Chain A
């Protein structure tokens, strides 16, 4: 282990069991093997087990803040708990240099019946502080938590904000050399969150390493020097923050697309389908350059929407709407043929394919869907309207999506002398 390395993870894996009963049996057998001094042969998967963390290797340098991101169930918390020694890896090895402190849940050790004062002592002891540490920092903890005279009331009478403040205050004062944080900054009001941020900055400044697990990309990007991206227990990427978050975003985009697709396969799909029966829509979606059906478009490219339908009667003046909606159901693009003075007079019965190409709509990477509507402009009859979420496609790209419209920007910041 190099001198500037604070945490070294090499080929670390952890397995879990899906069934509780079987997990009990495995537990007994593991314990028996450990007790008898036999190897627990933990490197093999038994029936019903899966790798929650799979072959993960990385280093955390001294003084560095490493972020860990990933979707739910990607193994972030399990990895963090292994770094803390709560769970032991089933394969691989973790070496940690220095005193480790973890903020996995704020106020985890608090007993509701004990007063704030009593809980500070107990919690501090659990977090590894000595009697002298607590005596020296007690006032500072109470100050930081801003609980004032409530210090001698049972914590079950605390507001959730007070509870969390006290929990964070104790943990922040345990002054570990390596701090592990799991999703705790999303608590309290804005001013307290900012206070936590300042405290964290202070901890990081004292040449201490921090490992930070969060769903909040904003704070991860700001706080972390490097970011590790986990997916299904595997380490997909570790390095530059922007790159990691962008990859995470595109992964999340895929997941969202898949889940919307899956949802819509289960009838009935969400959304609306109004039909007079005079028009029957077979299919709608997006076409690629070769005229084949595609599910993803790269940012900045043309988007060609197609609708395969059959007219059952003559429609004298079809008024067609084709729109692209985002996840919040806003129409990002909505074009009508009649607005553009395009008419398909006296549409005869029979099968048709409508193609509409939107010229380089600069959409940010996300999941979108196609919406189609058809009226008879002569009579005003509504013949068909489809806003089902089965017709989804995604836009891919290399940027972290934040808004909807993609464009380049020039920046300038100058004093105005006022």
Chain B
């Protein structure tokens, strides 16, 4: 028999001190790698099993939204601005990075509620559940990124060598998505309105961020864009793929710092409050 003693009492973490928490959190996430993978697999398999076209659904949504914008642009209803490359390439790349954030956040925020029946019956790492749901958005990203790749071939242009940096420069936006996801998973677990509000807010946020149009040069959007970390986090990877360079590294740096801070803070809060959510779910 192992002699490891687990103790449950109210305000456990306050008594143990905050510093020990970092180690606790890290070990929990690390030791549950396989669980996280299995949870991801469960979600992934179940999503596409009872569907004829399966994974193809991941294509359809971005193709339709990009298509809509191409149509609006062509008919002069909406000016996209000068993006320097064929618009569908620009938009598809933008969408793929954007949904890494948006789809990830929505999936995370629903993760606890969706597994509600499970987490009140079996005690397992709820962090794994949230992290695993980001996996869906990573898969979707890879597929959409490949779709963007085929557009490069179609238009006969080639992506820059800096494309190999994508796995690294996409990390901040993932962290931001996951961090906010932890918090929204908690809130959504207690009050369901949060989940509904979140999807509305994310749609709004997408139109506020230059994902499907070029960086604005006039109006109130200029100011918003300047402080919008999502702009930098989406644009830098995209510009690296398209041009191999990015002009505003300072902005990206700001966005990265913000993402890391939000991620750590939210993970921390999640750790302190996850047991409380189980009893309200």
Contacts and interface: CB of A to CB of B under 8 A. Distances in A.
**A-B interaction:** yes
A127 B125 CA distance: 10
Interface string B214-252: 000000000000000000000000000000000000000
Contacts of A95: 5-8
B121 interface: yes
Contacts of A130: 34
Contacts of B3: 97-98
Contact of B5 (A1, A89, A111): A1
Interface in B12-54: 12-14, 18, 34-35, 37-39, 41-42, 45-46, 49-50
Contacts of B142: none
Contacts of A88: 8-10, 12, 275-276
Given A37-B18, A114-B42, A114-B45, A108 B117 contact: yes
Contacts of A27: 190-191, 276-277, 279-280
Interface residues of A, number: 56
B45 to A, nearest CB: 6
Contacts of A1: 5
A84 to B, nearest CB: 5
A341 B123 CA distance: 71
A58 B158 CA distance: 71
B1 interface: yes
B46 A113 contact: yes
A150 interface: no
Contacts of A92: 9
Interface string B176-195: 00000000001000110000
B214 to A, nearest CB: 40
A23 interface: yes
B3 to A, nearest CB: 7
A131 B33 CA distance: 10
Contacts of A91: 10
A43 interface: yes
Given A98-B1, A99-B2, A85 B8 contact: yes
A384 interface: no
Size category, B interface: 35 or more
Interface string A34-53: 11011110110000000000
Interface in B67-124: 117-124
Given A1-B5, A125-B35, A40 B50 contact: no
Interface in B117-139: 117-124
Nearest to B280: A27
A121 B38 CA distance: 7
B150 interface: no
B272 A35 contact: yes
B273 A31 contact: yes
A155 B49 CA distance: 13
Contact of A86 (B35, B46, B121): B121
Contact of A207 (B1, B10, B34, B273): B1
Contact of A93 (B7, B50, B121, B190): B7
A82 B10 contact: no
Nearest to A85: B123
A125 B273 contact: no
Contacts of B186: 31
A94 B190 contact: no
Contacts of A127: 122, 124
B213 to A, nearest CB: 37
A90 B190 CA distance: 18
B269 interface: yes
Given A24-B280, A114-B42, A122-B39, A34 B272 contact: yes
A222 interface: no
Nearest to B33: A131
B121 A108 contact: yes
Contact of B9 (A34, A94, A97, A109): A94
Contacts of A64: none
Contacts of B46: 111, 113-114
A111 B276 contact: no
Contact of A87 (B42, B117, B279): B279
Nearest to B42: A122
A34 B276 contact: yes
B123 A109 contact: no
A118 B45 contact: yes
Q: Which of B50, B122, B277, B278 has the most CB of A within 10 A?
A: B122
B9 A93 contact: yes
Contacts of A102: 121-123
A131 B34 contact: yes
26 contacts: A24-B191, A24-B280, A27-B280, A31-B190, A34-B13, A34-B272, A34-B273, A35-B272, A87-B278, A87-B279, A89-B8, A93-B7, A93-B9, A94-B7, A95-B5, A98-B3, A108-B122, A111-B45, A114-B42, A118-B45, A125-B37, A127-B124, A130-B34, A131-B34, A154-B49, A207-B1
Given A16-B279, A31-B277, A98-B4, 6 more contacts: A39-B11, A95-B7, A97-B3, A100-B123, A111-B42, A113-B46
Interface of B: 1-14, 18, 34-35, 37-39, 41-42, 45-46, 49-50, 117-124, 186, 190-191, 269, 272-273, 275-280
